[in-house]
Structures are given as structure tokens and as C-alpha cells.
Chains A and B, each alone.
Chain A
Amino acid sequence: MGVEGIGAKVLRKEDRRFITGRGRYVDDMSVPGMKYAAFVRSPYAHAKINGLDTSAAEGMPGVIGILNGQQLQGDGIGNLICGWAVSSKDGTPMKMGAWPALASQTVRHVGQAVAIVVAETQAQARDAAEAVMVDYEELPVVTKAVEALKDGAPQLHPEAPGNLIFDWELGDRAATDEAFSKAAHVTRLHIHNNRLVPNPMEPRAALGHYDPAEDHYTCWTTSQNPHVARLVMSAFYNVAPEHKLRIIAPDVGGGFGSKIYIYPEEIVCLWASKRTGVPVKWTSDRSEAFLTDAHGRDHETDVEMALDADNKILALRVETVANLGAYMSLFSSATPTYLYATLLSGQYDIPAIHANVKAVYTNTVPVDAYRGAGRPEATYVVERTMETAARELGISPAEFRRKNFIRSFPHQTPVIMAYDAGDFDATLNAGMEAADVAGFDARREEARSRGKLRGLGMSCYIEACGIAPSKAVGSLGAGVGLWESAEVRVNPVGTIEILTGSHSHGQGHETTFSQLVAERFGLPVDNVQVIHGDTDKVQFGMGTYGSRSGAVGMSAIHKALDKVEAKAKKIAAHLLEADEGDIVIENGEVKVAGTDKKLGWHEVCLGAYTGHNLPDGMEPGLKEGAFYDPTNFTFPAGCYICEVEVDPETGTTQIIQFVAADDFGRVINPMIVDGQVHGGLAQGIGQALLEGTHYDDAGQLLTASYMDYAMPRAWDLPMFKVSTHETLCPGNPLGMKGCGEAGAIGSPPAVINAITDAIGNNELTMPATPEKVWKALSAVE
């Protein structure tokens, strides 16, 4: 691997600028003449707009312009789209209501933008926004998906009668019913997957700049996928033609999915820049983030598992109601369907599965993919059910899982996914050993002697990363392909630029991508520059989400490096008068194997650019690009074990130990992988113990600040024990699977399984606050 190659714990190159405060985020950007925007937002969850009076606001100091939804529509700016078409089981297409970037007739959630105010300063813009008078006529409100489906519920969109967007199914209903009829035991559970607010550290921001001289638009935005933003903003929203639009996503401070989507604010800032003639910057504050960033999860599920007399799973039946909020966000339809129900087989050989998902409109913030996107919901369903079934049957949860593990690969599940490789026993064994499961009974006794209740919970998750291949996702309704592109530009002096369509917003790509070059040519990672996030520099790309940058993005780089290596070898063979097959590149040198004949890497590169002595017919230069379209998803899997202590007097839970044994395939940088797992675990534990999103009956978000929405803090978490096991993924050249979401996917059921074990009551919903734990304890005492 070399000191900086694959598998090396190279320190993150980007951290120097981040930890010295020199990162450059959208809000740090400034262009001459730039002014500031504030949005007028609805205080009501559902209301008709009868009028908009801007006269008082227009006269306020510093105000440059106030624009509304009618003007937006008049200029032909299109409604927001959902990029994945999902049909109901009766074949009808999903029923999507119109979502204009500025509402002009109806508002459907608190915080929806109604108008934009552009002013000299941010404070002036905000003051004027407060003075815009909107005449609202309140309409009845519904915030819970199950309520929204009932007869007589308030109706959100005329396009979607009964608030039902689609009623979708996957799997074989008849085979599942048949299996249930033969079951020796059926385990049933009602599961609530709590709504989460993503809360990346950097709130969203947009700076729109229309340049009349060039008739050209630039938008700096907090995006995980700037090229998709450009495509969508030009092809669907008509803000600017694609060749006249440059999107730049500079340093982005976390996204977790919430920065995939193209939101109203960036569209409106760009449009407003042209309308007002000044560059327009908007920066979300934390309160706006709570009210407008796409939320995650929010499922209600009834699950049933059928078992035979030998404790083998016969079938799984799942009915889910997914709350999509007031509008269909960009990938909202895929998250509770193709990213959820397809993972319901877990790590187990389940002959029959049937899942039914109803997607529903409510007067809440739109819900979309959030770290894990569908897979955490699936894992929570499967792993809570596995643990509950084992308890009902009085058998060891580990042995019950083992009994049902899939052991031969490839394995076709009844829900689309074909698992290519895995070794579930290996991660279970590693997890159990690290967690000292054998010593748990003694620890439980010791805790009991101190008046505390100990519990152990497990979760054996599998997930799917690098969503692909393009042809398959296209047939399932995706509006885009899911390949990735890369370009490797070798400079005449031998330093290298990697241009990638992946986007780093905390993942450490500048380091790991450079490590591929270090591995390949033995060059120091400092000789490599990774360029991303600018549509003027990188030709095209699909961005970063779904843990795709390793398995897909790095595979594209790998392919481009193959081409660079081949050409460099040809040049070197020519210069050294050797056979191309004998050339090896290592430690920054290009050598003829078995001889002392060699050239410095930089000499070969310079040769490529002088063109003085190249093989006949070869083009000068050393720059190669590649597009990589995977053949399948990748399937990271692992075993998480959580040990908790509950204080029965107060209901407080403390996580004593958390073990994560993961199989991510090839690991490029173990330190970065550990960091990804730690972050994911913190989010998953946050969901399990702390994070609860509450709307009141009027649709006001009660948990709209950090005082009321409990983010996990260091004190809430133990030191994690993490390890990785490498079963290489056969589907991509590096054997990588992806590690960005596993922590958040696998951990919530482990935590809840541990608490329910401690208190002896399976009825417990997330977040398991002390109050809920206390109540659950009292219920069984």
C-alpha cells in the first residue's frame, strides 16, 4: 500500500483549512455589488393566500426589490419536480401536486416561501420581510400521515385525492399469504420511525449572480450534486439555459442528504438577481433550516413475520405509511419504496416478502432522503422484528439470526436486490467478541446489585450503496442515470489533478481520492489536487449521496487512471526502448522490470507534453477521462451491539458500550472510515434516544430549535468500538462497498433492542426519552 496508498491512515488533507477556519463556504463568497435576501414565509401550516401587500415594506430603508410568486410564474419559472416516478399497484402514476418556488395561491406548511425581499443588508431585508403583509385565510391542517388518509381529513392537493400520492407494493402477496397460513409462529410489531431534522452544521445558502454582459448566470449553492442542480434548474425550472449556467458548490459543511435537493431558495435567488440587477445572497438561519430543509424518516409500519416450527423465517409482511410532507421533494418517492422495501430481506434467507407502502401528503416540511434513506427504516423494521421474535420464542437473538443468515452468494431476494457477496457470520462473530457477549450475564447481575437494569441489543444490518446501474434505475422510474465521471489531468511536471463528479461535503474525498494516485504511481498525496463542485471545471457528475463516491466515484477515477497508466507506459516503453509489458510504475519512477533502466515519473509526463519523442501516431498530452456505470448496488453489512444501563428510578438510559463490526469491502483510509462510522452512529443513537420532531395540531413545528430538538452531544455517546472486515465487492474494480451511512442505518434498532431487553417491555418508541422508558417500565412492573 505504501505510506499513502490504499489502506493507509493518511491524515485528511482538507482538515488544515477546515480547522484553521479557512474553509470557503457559500456564505463566505462575495461578488461586487452583492445584496442580501430574506424570504417572507408562511406562519400557517395550511392557508389560502388572498393578497400580498408590499407597499409598507417597499418604502423601508435599503429595500431594492420585493418579488412574489405571480411574478415568478409570469417569468415562466417552473414548479419543483420529483425526479423519480413511482406508480401505484393499480398502475396509475403517482399523484403529484404543484410546488411553486414561491407560493402564490396556497401555502401548505409553516415556513413555505411566499416572497423574497432583496435589500442592501441582511438586517434590512429581514426587517422589510416582516413588513410584507400577506392576507391568509386559514385552512384545516393535518400533520400525521395516518390521519391524512382518513375520510374527512383536510385535503392538500387537488391532484391527490385523499392525500394519497401512491399505494405501491413490492413482492409476492400470494406467496406471502400462503407462507403465513403455514406458520408455526407469527411475530407482530407496530413500528414508528421518528421524523428527523437533518441539521448539517452549515445551514443552506445560495448566491445568485446574473451577468448581463455575458447573459450568463452563476449560482453558488450548498449542494451535494451541483451538476444535477444545473440540469434541473435549466431543464425543468427554466431559470437559465444549461450552457449559460454555472453552479458552484464550494466547501459544503455537511449535507446528510438534505443538500441533494434543489430548493426554492436557490432558484429564486438566481431569478431575483436577473430581476433586480444585483447579485443576491441568501443564508438560512437555523430556524429556517428547521422549517425548510427536507426532513427524514417518518414512517408508521405494521410488520408480521412468519416462522416455521424450526425457527426458520417463512415470510415477512410489511404495511407502511410514509409521510412525505406538503410537497414531493426531489427523491421523496424513491426513499420509502426502492430504497426501503428492497432491503426488507435483511441478512436473512426469507422465501416470501410482501411490502405495501402508502405515501401521503401532510401539512409538514417535505420529507426526503436523509443519511441512509429508506435503509434505516428497513433495518429498523427487520431488526426490531428479529429481536422480538427471538424473545417470543425464548431463543438467543444471535443464534436465531445465524439460523436464518444467507450464506451463499449471489443471492436473489424476493424484493429485487441480488446480494453479490457477504459474510454475515464473520461480522456477527467479530461483534459478539468485541462486545464480550459471553460476559454479559455477569455484567447484568453486577448492575442489578447497584439497582440498575442492563440490556444488550443487536442489529445485523445490510444496506445498499452506490445506487445503480443506470439502466436498472431508469426502468424503476429514476429521472437520471447513476454513473459517475472522472478526469485525471497529469501536468507536464507530473503533478496530478483529479476532476470528479462526486462532491465532498465532509467525507474527505481530497484525501482518499489522492490515495488512489499514491497507490498507483507512488506519488505523494500532496502532488494531487482534487477538483470538484464546479460545473465549469468538471464535465458532468451525479454528486455524492447514498455512499456512492467510493464505489462509483472512485471506480471512475480508477478507470481513468488505468488509461493514464497505459499511455504513460507506452511513452516510457518508447523512450526506454523496452517492451510496454515490462514497464512498471512505482515510487514515482517508471522502470523496465528486472533492469536498472528507468525514468522519473515527471520525465515521462514532460515527454508527453513536449511531444518531442512520442510513439508514431500518439497524441501528445496526458489526460484521460472515464465514465463508470456500476453493474449492481454494493451491499455493506455488519453487526452492531449496544449495551445499555437503565436507571429504573429516573428512566435515564446510558449507553455503556457500542460495538460496530462492519464489512465495507476494500477500505481506502481506515481513519476516515472510522470517522464515517462514528458520525453515523452518533446520528443513529441520536434518533434512538434524543431526536424527536413534533408538530402541534395547527401544524406548528414545536421542535424548531436546539432547545427543543435534542441533538446528540459527546456526553450522550460512549467510546465506540469499531472494526471492519473486508469481503471484497465483486462488482467494482476496487472491491469497495461504501461506509457513509451504515452507522446511521444499523444503530437505532441495536439501541432500542438493548433498552427493551433491559426493561423487559418491547413496546417502546423512538426517541426513547427517560419519560418513555419510565412509562414502559411502569407498564411491566
Chain B
Amino acid sequence: MNLFEYIRPTSVAEAIAAAGEPGSAYLGAGTNLLDLMKGGVTSPNRLIDLTHLPDLGKIEQLPDGSMRIGALVKNAALAHDTAFSKAYPAVAEALLSGASAQLRNAATVGGNLMQRTRCAYFADPASACNKREPGSGCDAIGGENRHHAILGWSESCIATHPSDFCVALTALDATIEIEGAGGRREVPITDFYLLPGDTPHEETVLEAGEIIVAIKLPANAAGFAGHQRYLKVRERTSYAFALVSAAAALEIENGTITEARLALGGVAMKPWRSAAAEAALAGLSPTREAFEKAAEAAFADARPSGENAYKIELGKRVVARALAMAAAGTPERMPALPASPFASDTGAIAHV
């Protein structure tokens, strides 16, 4: 039996104050947190329900042209916001490739950023897991680890971050707006997540009691709108997490790539931005060879953490394909199968 206190604050300040009690957890839609509580993975003694806070549910264009997304905006609402999906189509595509329609209708973007790893040992309280129980060991090492990390892992933890949304955000230089007892601050998403190192239980730079209030996408990210895609390879077309995914965005002028953005999902405990691949592409024309070169660069440091060497090869193929799809141009409308290797450029499914 899970016994916990349930609190429904009416302001951010009230929420933060309530979180002063140790063992508190913020509750978004609960699509991740409640599952973890039912499975005995986490057992907070106080749930602070954020979903009734005012003002966190807006998508706004700021005067400087950037876009600000309140932490309580639903995944589906954001993906289907016309202005947003025009400016950041790969982010919308990433959102729509995640979970299921029902889950996307419920899940908040703040919750999506903070969702926990899908490592099966993490989810099983009977297994050893340094992330769940620091110092207990890691059963994934030497266990079933086909889905685990190939970049940035440590001997303490080889898990991956499961979010699709964050991968596209990372490619486009999003920032996270955080509020805590000490006031508001902004952190670039590339600095938000922590690699496991010796402390895999520390996952983000959020301090105890801090709350995500919004996500911001810079105005210049819209410059990539014509050439950006999210590609997600998974074991089934829906309701599955990425084995490897890639968000690719290109600025192409006169047949030359002037700037490239690339972030990878499913490969590390954070969405993995690849500066090396981006640098490799700048100044080249968008050809298969260029994309394969970038793919090599993206995985130059990759090494298997178990039975997952295949992910390196798969990852290269995914990167090359995502870049080629981006170069071909963002499709007019969202493909029927967002982010699928089978989504054709015209947005239709390729059934005869």
C-alpha cells in the first residue's frame, strides 16, 4: 500500500514551499510518476500536483521572436499548435512519435523532460540499480542491455534517457526556465542533464524543490524550419521508445550547408548533441557522402556497454538517413507515421 499526502497548490511559490518537505515529488499528469509508484520504484510521501497552477499552460511568442512553452502544456497540444509546429517541425514530429495519443493528450512537457529511464532493472525493485538505490550496483551491466547506452555511460550506470521531445529541443538549443526558493534561472538544455559518472541518481541540475516553469526555443532556431526532421528507430511503430533516434536540422544556402544541428536519442543518459558531426558538415554540399562522414564523426567516441554494439552501426545509419531527410526538406504536412523510417517525404504512408 502506498500512503502519501496529496497537495494541490494554487501558485508556484506555494508549490515550492510545499516541496520543502523531504520526500516530496511534483506531479504532472502522472503518466510516468504513478507507474513508478505502483511498481515500488519510488515512494514519495507527498505529491504536489502542479496541474492546477495558473499561467503554466501557455504557448507564447516573445517579443524577441523566441517561443516560450509553459511546463504544463500537454505534449499533444504543443505538437498540434500550428505556429509552433511551423517554426519547429522536428520538435512536433518528435513529440508525435512518442507514447500513444492518449498519453500525449495527458502528459505535460515538464514531465516529459523529467521522465525517468526505461532501464528494466531500474523499474524492478528486486534488481540492483545505482540510480534507484545508490551503491547497490548495476544489474544492467552484464544483463539484458540491448537498449542501453553507447555514449557517455559509466561503470555505475549505462542507462539512457527515453525522451524524444528533448532530443529535438537539444538540437535547437532550447533553454529551461527553472524556479526555486532562490528565484528564477535559465539553463541551456545541453547543460540541464548530467551524465551518470559515479552519481547516476543525480540526473539534472534541478535542486531539491526546484520546478520547471517553461521551455524556451530561441528565435534563430526557426532558421532551420525548412530542413529539419526527427527520425526514430524503434521495435514497433507506436508505443515504443527509441533504440536510436536523431534530430537533424540544416541551413542550406546555394547548395551548401551553412550550419548543421544534430542531436541523438536513445544513446546516452542525456540527449546527445554532436558538435563533431555538426562541424563536419559545415561548408559541405548535402550529399550522402557528407552525411555518412557526419555519422562517423557522431559515433567516433561510441563504445558498447554490453550487447549493444549494433546500436553504433544502427546509429550511423539513422544519422545519415535523418540528415538526408532534412536535406530533402521538411514535408508540407506531418507524415502519417511521424519520425518513422517508412514515412515518405510527402507525408503519406507508402501503402500501395
Which positions in A face B, CB cutoff 8 Å?
127, 130-131, 443, 643, 645, 647, 649-650, 652, 654, 656-657, 689-690, 702, 706-707, 710, 713, 715-716, 718-719, 769-771, 774
Contacts and interface: CB of A to CB of B under 8 A. Distances in A.
Given A656-B351, A719-B351, A690 B236 contact: yes
13 contacts: A130-B1, A645-B350, A649-B314, A649-B317, A649-B321, A654-B350, A656-B350, A656-B351, A656-B352, A713-B238, A715-B337, A718-B351, A770-B235
A713 B350 CA distance: 17
A771 B341 contact: no
Nearest to B2: A127
A771 B238 contact: no
A707 B239 contact: yes
Interface string B338-352: 001110000000111
B341 A713 contact: no
Given A650-B233, A650-B314, A652-B342, A657 B352 contact: yes
B103 to A, nearest CB: 11
Contacts of B293: none
A130, A649, A707, A718: residue with the most chain B Cβ atoms closer than 10 Å: A649
Interface in B308-327: 310, 314, 317-318, 321
A715 B310 contact: no
A657 B310 contact: no
Contacts of A713: 236-239
Q: Report whether over half of chain A's contact residues are helix, strand or loop; otherwise say mixed.
A: mixed
B240 interface: yes
Contact of B317 (A130, A645, A650, A657): A650
A650 B237 contact: no
Contacts of B239: 706-707, 710, 713
A131 B352 CA distance: 57
Interface pairs A-B: 8 shortest CB-CB = A649-B317, A715-B237, A127-B1, A650-B233, A654-B342, A710-B236, A718-B351, A650-B341
Contacts of B233: 650, 652, 770
A647 B237 contact: no
A443 B350 CA distance: 13
A221 to B, nearest CB: 27
Nearest to B3: A127
A276 B233 CA distance: 54
A443 B351 CA distance: 12
Given A127-B1, A130-B1, A769-B235, A652 B341 contact: yes
Interface residues of B, number: 22
Contacts of A770: 233, 235
Nearest to B342: A654
Contacts of B337: 715
A693 to B, nearest CB: 15
Nearest to A713: B238
A657 B235 contact: no
A647 B342 contact: yes
A193 B297 CA distance: 42
A138 to B, nearest CB: 13
A722 to B, nearest CB: 15
B303 interface: no
B146 interface: yes
A770 B233 CA distance: 9
Contacts of B341: 647, 649-650, 652
A715 B237 CA distance: 7
Contacts of B238: 713, 715-716
B237 A716 contact: yes
Contacts, number: 60
B350 A771 contact: no
Contacts of B351: 656-657, 718-719
Contacts of B321: 649
A707 B239 CA distance: 7
Contacts of A652: 233, 340-342
A652 B234 CA distance: 8
Contacts of A769: 235-236
A633 B337 CA distance: 44
Contacts of B120: 702
A771 B236 contact: no
A716 B310 contact: no
Contacts of A130: 1
Nearest to B241: A707
A453 to B, nearest CB: 13
Interface in B187-216: none
Nearest to A706: B239
A710 B239 CA distance: 8
Nearest to A690: B236
B13 to A, nearest CB: 34
B215 to A, nearest CB: 26
Nearest to A711: B239
B8 to A, nearest CB: 21
A710 B342 contact: no
B52 to A, nearest CB: 24
A443 B237 CA distance: 24
A3 B120 CA distance: 56
A396 B81 CA distance: 53
Contacts of B314: 649-650, 774
A83 to B, nearest CB: 37
A770 B311 CA distance: 13
Interface in B58-93: none
Nearest to B236: A710
A702 B341 CA distance: 28
Contacts of A443: 352
Contact of A650 (B1, B240, B318, B350): B318
A404 to B, nearest CB: 30
Contacts of B317: 649-650
- Give the most central of A443, A645, A650: most B CB within 10 Å: A650
Contacts of A706: 239
B27 to A, nearest CB: 19
Contacts of B310: 771, 774
A443 B318 CA distance: 25
B116 to A, nearest CB: 13
B294 to A, nearest CB: 16
Contacts of B236: 689-690, 710, 713, 716, 769
A427 B1 CA distance: 58
A512 to B, nearest CB: 31
Nearest to A127: B1
A233 B317 CA distance: 59
A502 to B, nearest CB: 34
Contacts of A719: 351
Interface string B127-167: 00000000000000000001000000000000000000000
B312 to A, nearest CB: 13
Most chain B beta-carbon neighbours within 10 Å: one of A131, A707, A718: A707
Contacts of B350: 645, 654, 656
A205 to B, nearest CB: 21
A771 B146 CA distance: 10
Interface string B216-252: 0000000000000000010111111000000000000
Contacts of A645: 342, 350
Nearest to A287: B38
B255 to A, nearest CB: 23
A257 to B, nearest CB: 24
A131 B3 CA distance: 14
Contacts of B240: 710
Nearest to B244: A650
